[in-house]
Structure 1
Amino acid sequence: MDDIPPYPPIDPTTFDLIVIGTGLPESIIAAAASTASKSVLHLDPNPFYGSHFSSLPLADLPSFLSSHSTSPSPPRSPSSDDPNEFSLLEFATRPLYSSIDISTFSPNLDQHSRKFNLDVAGPRVLFCADKSIELLLRTGTNQYMEFKSVDATFVGDNKGNLWSVPDSRAAIFKDKSLGLVEKNKLMRFFKLVQGHLAGEQDVKISEEDLQSPFVDFLNKMGLPPKIKSFILYAIAMADYDQEDTGVCRDLLKTKDGIDQLALYNASIGRFQNASGAFLYPIYGQGELSQAFCRRAAVKGCLYVLRMPVTALLVDKDTGCYKGVRLASGQDIFSQKLILDPTFKVTLPLGSSPPLPLKEKLPFFSLKDDKGKIARGICITKTSLKPDISNFLVVYPPRSLFPEQVTSIRLLQIASNLAVCLPGMFVLYISALCNDDDQGKKLIHAVMNTLLTVPLDSESNAAVQSETAEIGSAVQDETSESSSGGPSDSGEEKPTLLWSALYSQELTLGQVDFICSTPMPDGKLNYNDLIDTTFKIFQEIYPEEEFFPETSLENPEVDGDASPET
């Protein structure tokens, strides 16, 4: 038994809710339940917060992805003192990542792994006026975080050009790539949308148009292809080619497109220190999960990391859920259970569950969403735009190659957001795909367009030479500029120092015999995930309000509060 870690006993042993996994949906539910005066035990087998929504050091990311690319056997726990009281259903983990490809062209980076905070589920931003910001403000969770503005949005093409998105009246006037006729049409369109949203009867968009495809409405408005592309994919954030109904899995209606434009417009200028429509958290997106865990801890939630859960306890007579068995052998009981999406319930070979449970088990399996999402993380020493550090780039469908049927999004983040070494930049790339091969083709198309990718030992040596001063940069972080000026070597394209490419399964949240939360989706923001999280909370606690306003009358502001006990 020497190989069993000395897991600490948990006291008490009965809770209203057990939550397994500290991903963002689980952390929000734990905070909401704690706010509703429920006793909550929040467990995670990992030694860190965030799970698949975390931000990890450079050296930890590959091992995390690899550990979730196979289905390891769960830790074995000692047998129950009363084996006749419960049926034990073992937990197994489902592989969620595949086609993992890690490339290192500068070994010096590994020496400073802890200087990196790399998002597992990038690219992600928060619209200044979206549901995630409203939730942070409503719950007071914003006390635990800091943000910086994502300064600009661009649309890219297959020649490496990055075109500014004219997303406001001032931006339209300044845009030199648009002709006078194009500017006038775009101004008239924005004026129509603003009038409709303001309820002006003389400019109201008809119900027939609102229910029609957004791309048809844009055609009806006489907008040229370039402007249509900007609106559809860089402002309304459509995922699929809206003009090809044969491949479009999510045809955007005009009403939804207008709502997206309204969100984008409301986000610009909402905060005085944010010039663009987006915010990004200092230290990475993993801070969101940690912030909600802190909020839950303040409200009494008990946290235990490094605690694997091995089995589900169900009543032998009724088949009803009773609790979980920990790797320590301890049984913990609760009325409700929330699971990280990696978990699935399995039966021992040759065993048969009780009849009530047998009828429920087929419903408990992770539900696939539409295909996969390909993700890429790249580290460079120069910015894609010499004068801008933090910005978003959107590649509309067909903009890189004819078979590209989905949008590809790229987010560049600089060291001023504490995600990388001083003077360096992290690029997050993502695209929806049907399979791993298609996903890699999409990510590689962006990398080959924007970056110089070393291919041999000679170019590898050049990269190592370029990063020879990393150590001195770390010693003087405050003096190093992160403004993203042109490369000293005069290269037209930044040179790739490190990259991670992988595909992620898309899974939906589930409310049935047991509740399972969703994986990170393919969206740029968290609105859909927050909607799903809210529905799960409503299902398990229909009588409780989701973060009532009264919860902020006397908010606990303890800057030193730690969510882990």
Structure 2
Amino acid sequence: MSEDSSYPCIDPINFDLVIVGTGLSESVIAAAASAAGKTVLHLDHNSFYGSHCASLSLNELTSFLSSHSVPPQPPPSPSTTDEQQKDDHVVIDLIPRSLYSEVEISSYASETEAILLETSRKFNLDLGGPRALFCADKTIDLLLKSGASQYLEFKSIDASFIFHKNNENGNLVNVPDSRAAIFKDKSLGIFEKNKLMAFFKLVQQHLAASSSGNNGNDTETSESAKISDEDLDCPFHVYLKKIGLPPKIKSIILYAIAMADYDQYNNEACQEVLKTKDGIDRLALYISSVGRFPNASGALLYPIYGEGELPQAFCRRAAVKGCLYVLRMTVTSLLIDKDTGHYKGVRLASGQDLYSNQLILDPSFTVSPPSSAPIDFWGESLQMLSRRDVKEIVARGICVTRSSIKSDVSNCLVVYPPKSFFPEQVTSVRALQIGANLAVCPSGMFILYISTLCDDANQGKKLVHATMNALLTIPVSGIPESNPIVQTENADAKPTVLWSACYIQELTTGHYESISSTPMPDGNLTYNDLLEEAVRIFHQMYQNEEFFPETISPENPEDNGGLTLEI
């Protein structure tokens, strides 16, 4: 819809909940509230679903990053007539903020650019990648419970690799996902295989003992098989050292299975020390993911057509339950009660005022309360919206190539632990390659997503470029130099980059009151933290409502539990 187009009039004007933005957290809440019988209006100023969790064409992604990397201008407030003015509320303008910066987009060779432009709409590029789902994680459970799974199809991630540094060089080694895989892995020695298999057995015994102990069966035997409370409360890397695991195995467990973000051995730089209890829980998730679905080859899944299908699935579920959707509709202002300072409604770019009991905002909005108003007039929600805190940032990269980083693998995850590239590297880097068999790019091409948490933009971009240089061939100069990394003696020929994007994204926190705000896509591989935020917001608003009541089981309960997986 163009700027001059007339906006539709929304009827009715009163709702239980208005949601602005169609990201994953917002879409899950819309579906849950609709399932609970609430009247929900779901708005988005974009022409597509997904907001910051969208999958976009090549042209759309370029346009989005370019437009969101500069300070946005607040939309003009619509003119109002005397009849539209209300005596019982004040109007507070919403201010859009830029959450993306340091955008670098490169296309290599003019003929390549022409080809990519012609096939732009065949790309589904994830704005918040790399992302994947464990077969047994909370996202899969929620998709099945909510019924949103019927709108999705998945494929398995073929393999996972981790960079293992040996002296000055290093190589990518397999991340084994079963006893059979450990036995067949030629990169592990006999001692390492025995240690890893013994550790997996120890974890399984602990989990079984914990489960049987909770049921009151054979308590004495259960307690002897469990890991002690003292060990569970200590740092995971300390426990792994205590049981004698070699360095390569510890690295695989910490960074490629437990997915630790920070250098666990650096007490000063590590912002999140992984405790043994949490590490064991993550291993349990990994182990239970392998083999959950018969036609899933590994622990990880990825949605066909990209991660943007996830919010769309929940939007479809919400629409079935009566949620009203309007895209290309901008919310310009909040309506605040003059006497109490409580939220009353929103004003649209069309000039129409809508009213609701609750409001959820896209994380890119802030407010600037008038200086003339007393501080105690503004509720906690408005005060928090006016000072959105950025807890950290994540550097992301997207590359388009014509060949795979592993000749015999199409879809794979690669992890570079801390210190893989530079001594000062304190965070892990994750790279996820997705091929055309997942309908995210034209046939014969591949997409590589890269991300790492960082304290500043220069540090993050340096790591993204170092990962690109390690896995890919950059055909032009201008990319920052990085330490050369040798994959193996007979390494696969590195794919040549056709197109790339590198950018910094801020990670904002969510908060909850009558005006709630969802968080930005985080630096995790999975969606679990985003879903936990959605659950918290829902229960904050509707304490006595069930988050997605149980639905009728699918007709074929043995067929992947209602989840569609393509081989």
So what's the TM-score if we normalise by structure 2? Answer: 0.89
Q: Which residue of 2 aligns with 1:264?
A: 286
Among 277, 282, 294, the alignment partner of 1:255 is 277
- The yes-or-no answer on 1:549 pairing with 2:550 is yes
Q: Which residue of 2 aligns with 1:411?
A: 432
Deviations 1:63-108 (A, max 9, x none): 1122222232223212262243320000111110010000011212
CA distance in 2, matches of 1:527, 1:97: 23
Among 207, 210, 229, the alignment partner of 2:229 is 207
SS in 2 for 1:523: coil
Q: Which residue of 2 aligns with 1:52?
A: 52
Q: What letter matches 2:181 in structure 1?
A: A
CA distance in 2, matches of 1:257, 1:451: 32
- Alpha carbons of 1:358 and 1:221: their partners in 2 closer, same or farther (altered >3 Å)? closer
- Alpha carbons of 1:547 and 1:141: their partners in 2 closer, same or farther (altered >3 Å)? same
Larger displacement relative to structure 2 (188-197 or 158-167): 158-167
Q: Which residue of 1 aligns with 2:441?
A: 420
Among 132, 137, 140, the alignment partner of 1:130 is 137
CA contact (8 A) 2:177 2:299 kept: no
Q: Which residue of 1 aligns with 2:102?
A: 99
Q: What letter matches 1:87 in structure 2?
A: V
Q: Which residue of 2 aligns with 1:114?
A: 121
Among 317, 325, 342, the alignment partner of 1:303 is 325
CA contact (8 A) 1:281 1:417 kept: yes
Q: Which residue of 2 aligns with 1:150?
A: 157
- Alpha carbons of 1:360 and 1:173: their partners in 2 closer, same or farther (altered >3 Å)? closer
Q: Which residue of 1 aligns with 2:349?
A: 327
SS in 1 for 2:347: strand
Q: Which residue of 2 aligns with 1:525?
A: 526
Q: What letter matches 1:412 in structure 2?
A: Q
CA distance in 1, matches of 2:379, 2:244: 58
CA contact (8 A) 1:229 1:396 kept: yes
- Alpha carbons of 1:369 and 1:232: their partners in 2 closer, same or farther (altered >3 Å)? farther
Q: What letter matches 1:150 in structure 2?
A: I
- Alpha carbons of 1:111 and 1:550: their partners in 2 closer, same or farther (altered >3 Å)? closer
Q: Which residue of 2 aligns with 1:187?
A: 197
Deviations 1:114-150 (A, max 9, x none): 0000000000001000000000000111100100000
Larger displacement relative to structure 2 (361-370 or 219-228): 361-370
Q: How many residues align?
A: 520
Deviations 1:520-544 (A, max 9, x none): 0010001111111100000011111
CA contact (8 A) 2:88 2:339 kept: no
- Alpha carbons of 1:353 and 1:110: their partners in 2 closer, same or farther (altered >3 Å)? farther
- The yes-or-no answer on 1:273 pairing with 2:295 is yes
CA distance in 1, matches of 2:435, 2:170: 20
Q: Which residue of 1 aligns with 2:499?
A: 498
Shift of 1:362: 2.4
Deviations 1:380-399 (A, max 9, x none): 00000000100100001111
CA contact (8 A) 1:30 1:40 kept: yes
- Alpha carbons of 1:361 and 1:140: their partners in 2 closer, same or farther (altered >3 Å)? closer
Q: What letter matches 1:165 in structure 2?
A: V
So what's the TM-score if we normalise by structure 1? Answer: 0.89
Percent of aligned pairs with the same amino acid: 62
Q: Which residue of 2 aligns with 1:515?
A: 516
Structure 1 unaligned runs (5+)?
Answer: 458-489, 555-565
Q: Which residue of 2 aligns with 1:471?
A: none
CA contact (8 A) 1:123 1:411 kept: yes
CA distance in 1, matches of 2:145, 2:380: 41
Moved segments of 4+, more than 4 Å = 157-160, 550-554
Q: Which residue of 1 aligns with 2:88?
A: 85
Q: What letter matches 2:505 in structure 1?
A: Q
Q: What letter matches 1:92 in structure 2?
A: I
CA distance in 1, matches of 2:383, 2:367: 10
- The equivalences for 1:455-470 within 5 A come to 455=476
CA distance in 1, matches of 2:40, 2:118: 39
Aligned Cα root-mean-square deviation (Å): 1.9
Deviations 1:269-292 (A, max 9, x none): 111111010000000000000000
SS in 1 for 2:525: coil
- Alpha carbons of 1:383 and 1:358: their partners in 2 closer, same or farther (altered >3 Å)? closer
Deviations 1:34-58 (A, max 9, x none): 0000000000000000000000000
Q: Which residue of 1 aligns with 2:561?
A: none
Shift of 1:205: 0.3
Among 254, 258, 264, the alignment partner of 1:242 is 264
Deviations 1:294-318 (A, max 9, x none): 0000000000000001100011111
CA contact (8 A) 2:335 2:346 kept: yes
Shift of 1:167: 2.7
